[in-house]
């Protein structure tokens, strides 16, 4: 298995993770978003070259008031750089095998690398449902109490420390 940046040659028609919005986005919008520099999508390929997982990253900013309290302490009042993990999915037939964990680690490492180039301090995610929220919570993403949108954050340096690397 390997991860590659999404390209025209990848076959996506059979991708099914059980959440139609994630399946449709990959097939109908991921390449166009890449061409328009709105996001970058990376696909996890099995040994037969079939896409069995993917994630999409984009850059953004967050005001300290929108962060969990302890994350915002001492930060300036302008937007702080962040990487948004905009989409994340594993096919139904590969769920429960640890591939989600492995792909999330890959996404965190790539986001951290981007953060060194463009000064991002956080990784954010908008969980699509409670199962996704529980998944991200297991990896120390924190939600803001009272945030109806449910966005979750982790500091990039905390994520790297949890993975055992800081470079």
Dihedrals φ, ψ of 123, to 5°?
Answer: -115, 130
The answer to whether the beta carbons of residues 67 and 17 sit under 8 Å apart is no
Cβ partners under 8 Å of residue 120, min gap 6: 59, 81, 82, 83, 111, 114, 156
Given 54, 55, 71, 136, which residue is catalytic?
Answer: 136
Is 136 in the active site?
yes
**What are 1's two structure tokens?**
């298995």
CA–centroid distance for 41 within its chain: 10
Q: Provide the annotated active-site residues.
A: 136
């Amino acid at each position: 298995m390997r991860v590659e940046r999404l390209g025209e040659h990848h076959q996506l028609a059979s991708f099914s993770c059980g959440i139609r919005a994630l399946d449709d986005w990959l097939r109908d919008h991921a390449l166009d978003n890449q061409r328009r520099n709105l996001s970058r999508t990376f696909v996890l390929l099995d040994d037969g070259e079939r896409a069995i997982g993917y994630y999409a990253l984009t850059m953004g900013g967050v005001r300290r008031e929108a962060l969990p309290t302890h994350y915002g302490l001492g930060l300036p009042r302008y937007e702080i750089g962040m990487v948004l993990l905009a989409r994340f999915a594993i096919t139904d037939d590969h769920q429960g095998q640890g591939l989600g964990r492995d792909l999330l680690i890959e996404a965190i490492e790539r986001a951290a690398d981007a953060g060194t180039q463009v000064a991002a301090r956080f990784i954010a995610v908008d969980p699509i449902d409670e199962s996704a929220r529980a998944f991200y919570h297991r990896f120390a993403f924190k939600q803001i109490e009272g945030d109806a949108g449910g966005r979750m954050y982790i500091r990039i340096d905390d994520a790297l420390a949890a993975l055992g690397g800081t470079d």
